[in-house]
A and B are shown apart, each in its own frame.
Chain A
């Protein structure tokens, strides 16, 4: 559970970072740093697009509008010409660019999850859209619609959420950022490299606390499962413990047997958890590839193993103590 949930958190962030890199821009501009995780609404005037186009070293500019559509999903409004210039355009797996204002382009994962094909109708923002193109994932967003249409529908005409700039040479990024910051104080202007580095657990409000809760729950569940299973095992094996004691096994020997079994159980549980995290990743990719992305994080295997062993050992203390204190005669007469 822990490996899957942490993997989903990290996977979603990494996917967002990958899509941001996929734009091919060098500088990212927003009126708010909250826009990093797509929570801001349009707050910048479209007039800034011309302003940025006139800046030295800037060769392409793209403005986007982002609108949440439930959960962590968002729809992004783009101008396809701007997008093509800055990123080289989408790679269409089926269909092609927008032809009508109510056309929508979705990526392969979103299409697969929602069983969409070119010509399908999909409900977004409480209205029907015609799928005009299905594209390779990894560029900007999973769902894109014409920017103008999104601005009208969300009463943000002439407003943008984010602006992406492509430079003639990436080595000019810092000097251009410094120049822009001096001209536009109060705006968030950072390199795309820095933007993608901000897609981390520490920068998403509540995510670190959520992972903390998941870890705590894992310890509690691990403790309860091992406590109950070891308690049951000790009861079921009362007679066997009596036999060991009759053979001369000390309390330390019995404790050793119980704790070794517990640690083996914890390791087996950890391995099962790792295998299951691969299984959950496969399931996510098969069922909801457009909504969730799970990453396999080997660095967390050790953490998960440590938590499993700790929870299991704590859970085994009482059953082990009970087993070690078992009276041999009573245990041998146990049916």
Chain B
């Protein structure tokens, strides 16, 4: 396999069992994402993009097919191995920010370091990132004291604090107004261009999708041209 692809997916299928009925969510997805690429997946509801997001993030195993993340075969991994993958190789940004409400912004970032068994301190490059995100002065506030845009920027900081191979963002601007959307999308693009962060973003918004290098469309569990 070529090393230039950080994500490589071949004939990926995912079937959910709902009662006695099998519901296919992914019906043979083939995808390759290069290192340092900013890719957007767009598609209507039920097209399978969230399922692809969950499989690539190691949150659920594929039913069949091959998924390689940074050269590691995710389809052959146990639950524990996928958990380890999430510590180091994947960072998540969610539509609803998903910050821990009882912790400060700084602690929300620090807990990701703690889970990954990293030291408490941040490397100088991450300090730069905090400046880039514009939240360095808001780190001692709890999420409820932060605006939606600030919360999402904290979530981005948490997602990349362990220097993951890929950053998965699921509708990162879905809960933001247009001004904050632009700020967050600009930050994602900056992370990609300045730090070479590979980003895979799911969105409904064509304007958001335009920030990516490449747009992939999904429908009915497949990638369509």
> How many Å from the CB of B160 to the closest CB on chain A?
12
The verdict on B92 contacting chain A, using a C-beta distance below 8 Å, is yes
Inter-chain CA distance A250–B100, complex, in Å, is 17
For B111, the chain A residues whose CB sits under 8 A away are: 244, 247
Nearest-neighbor residue (CB-CB) of A239 within chain B = B98
Q: Are A248 and B84 in contact (CB under 8 A)?
A: yes
Residues on the A chain within 8 Å of B86, using CB: 245-248
Complex CA–CA separation, A250 to B85 (angstroms) = 11
Residues of A within 8 A of B105 (CB): none
**B31 close to A (CB within 8 Å):** no
Q: Mark B79-121, 1 if CB is under 8 A from A, else 0.
A: 0100111111000101000111100000000011001100000
Give the shortest distance, in Å, between B190 (CB) and chain A (any CB). 23
CB under 8 Å from chain B, chain A span 126-151 = none
Task: Check B83–A245 contact: CB distance below 8 A.
Answer: yes
CB under 8 Å from chain B, chain A span 302-335: 328-329, 332
Given contacts A246-B59, A246-B92, A248-B88, whether A332 and B115 have CB atoms under 8 Å apart is no
B-facing residues in A228-248 (Cβ within 8 Å)? 239-240, 242-248
Question: Contact check: which of A243, A250, A253, A329 meets B98 at CB < 8 Å?
Answer: A243
Q: Which of A239, A242, A243, A246 has the most CB of B within 10 A?
A: A246
List, in ascending order, chain B residues with CB within 8 A of A239's CB: 98
Which A residue sits closest to B92, measured CB to CB? Answer: A246
A249 and B111 alpha carbons, distance in the complex (Å)? 10
In angstroms, Cα B94 to Cα A242, docked, is 12
What is the CA–CA distance of A328 and B86 in the complex, to the nearest angstrom? 12
**B189 near A: Cβ within 8 Å?**
no
Residues of A in contact (CB 8 Å), total: 15
Q: Is the CB–CB distance between B59 and A244 below 8 Å?
A: no
Within A203-250, which residues are at the interface with B (CB < 8 Å)? Answer: 239-240, 242-250
Give the residue name and chain of the A residue nearest to B88 (CB): A248
Q: Is B70 positioned at the interface, with any CB of A under 8 Å from its CB?
A: no
B57 at the interface (CB under 8 A from A): yes
A247 CB, min distance to chain B CBs, angstroms: 5
Asked if A247 and B115 make an inter-chain contact with CB atoms under 8 angstroms apart, the answer reads yes
* Interface contact A332-B94, CB-CB below 8 Å: yes
Q: What is the bound-complex CA distance between A246 and B60, given in angstroms? A: 11
Cα of A329 to Cα of B158 in the assembled complex, Å: 19
User: Given the complex, which residues of B lie within 8 Å of A243, measured CB to CB?
Assistant: 98-100
* A154, B17: Cα distance in complex, Å: 84
What is the CB-to-nearest-CB distance from B111 to chain A, in angstroms, rounded to a whole number? Answer: 7
Partner of B83, one of A240, A242, A249, A329: A249
Closest chain-B Cβ to A71's Cβ sits at a distance in Å of: 49
Residues of A within 8 A of B98 (CB): 239, 242-243, 246, 332
Docked Cα-Cα span, A253 to B84, in Å, equals 12
Q: What string of 1s and 0s marks CB contacts (under 8 Å) between B104-140 and chain A?
A: 0000000110011000000000000000000000000
B54 at the interface (CB under 8 A from A): yes
> Across the interface, do B115 and A244 meet the contact criterion of CB distance under 8 Å?
yes
CB distance from A234 to the nearest CB of B (A): 15
> Known contacts being A243-B98, A329-B54, A332-B98, is A248 close to B59, with CB within 8 Å?
no
Q: B99: which A residues are within 8 A, CB to CB?
A: 243
Taken together as a complex, chains A and B put the C-alpha atoms of A191 and B134 apart, in Å, by 83
Q: Which residues of A contact B84 (CB under 8 A)?
A: 248
| A242 to chain B: closest residue by CB | B98
Q: Which residue of B has the minimal Cβ distance to A335?
A: B96
Q: How far is the CB of B50 from chain A (nearest CB, A)?
A: 9
Residues B59 and A329 in contact, CB atoms below 8 Å apart: yes
A-B CB contact pairs (8 Å), 21 listed: A240-B100, A240-B101, A243-B99, A243-B100, A244-B111, A245-B83, A246-B57, A246-B59, A246-B98, A247-B86, A247-B92, A247-B111, A247-B112, A247-B115, A248-B84, A248-B86, A248-B115, A248-B116, A249-B83, A329-B54, A329-B60
- Residues in B lying within 8 Å of A, measured CB to CB: 54, 57, 59-60, 80, 83-88, 92, 94, 98-101, 111-112, 115-116, 158
- Chain A positions within 8 Å of B, measured between CB atoms, are 239-240, 242-250, 253, 328-329, 332
